[in-house]
Amino acid sequence: MKKSFTHVNVETILQNRELSLSILFSGVIFLVPALVHQQFLTGPIVNAVLILSLLNLGRDKAFFLGLIPSSVALANGLLPLALAPMLPFIMISNCLYIAVFSKFYRSSASLHKNSLAVVLAAFAKSIFLFLVAKLLMEGLLVAPLSTRIASMMSWPQLWTATLGGVLALLLQKNLEKNYVSKR
């Protein structure tokens, strides 16, 4: 079956868009935790990229990207060495964030309604991290340090995940308005 000229162009544009976004999102996921050593800047950016990856590249690629930032942050000192045992759980929490957001997101819904998906995903991520940190770190570390780590895994995670999700929704709206619509 011979493809029409128009069909090939649209297909090529969509493939190039996906490749371009994959490169962009991967670069941000690697570079931001490596270069920006402030959780309140890095967290929202990484969470925004996770949501944008889901919306533009699909769940599998978003899950893959969700595994990267905590490893880079640990390797570059943003994540304290004492949090190394938390690494797999941080990766899981990123995938949980993506999965919960995906469950409640509706592409035809308003920004306001999709903000609920962001809040639910952020709560799921932060509650998961807090509980794991509380249970795991109390068994591994002395009380003052384990309490501090559990605190780091609670409201800061909620804040950065919520802000990142809202940022992603705003950026996605702009992407959809100005570029070829999603796949």
Domain boundaries along the sequence of the chain: 5-178
The pTM assigned to this predicted structure is: 0.84
Residue 94 · residue 67 · CB < 8 Å: yes
Q: Which of the 8 DSSP states describes residue 141?
A: S
Compute the distance between CA of residue 62 and CA of residue 18 in angstroms, rounded to an integer: 12
Nearest Cα residue to 33 out of 78, 63, 81, 65: 78
Give the pLDDT score at 17. Answer: 79
Compute the distance between CA of residue 44 and CA of residue 115 in angstroms, rounded to an integer: 15
Residue 86 · residue 77 · CB < 8 Å: no
Q: Percentage helix, strand, coil, to 5, in the chain?
A: 85, 0, 15
CATH class of the domain at 5-178 = mainly alpha
Give the pLDDT score at 11. Answer: 59
Q: What is the pLDDT along the chain (183 residues), one digit of tens a residue?
A: 555 545 555 556 556 878 889 999 999 999 998 888 788 999 999 999 999 999 999 999 999 999 999 888 888 877 778 778 889 999 999 999 999 999 999 988 888 889 999 999 999 999 999 998 888 777 766 566 666 676 777 789 999 999 999 999 999 988 887 764 444
What is the DSSP code string of 68-106? Answer: SHHHHHHHTTSS-GGGGGGHHHHHHHHHHHHHHHHHH--
- Dihedral class, residue 77 (left if φ above 0, else alpha if ψ from -120 to 50, else beta): left
Give the pLDDT score at 145. Answer: 67
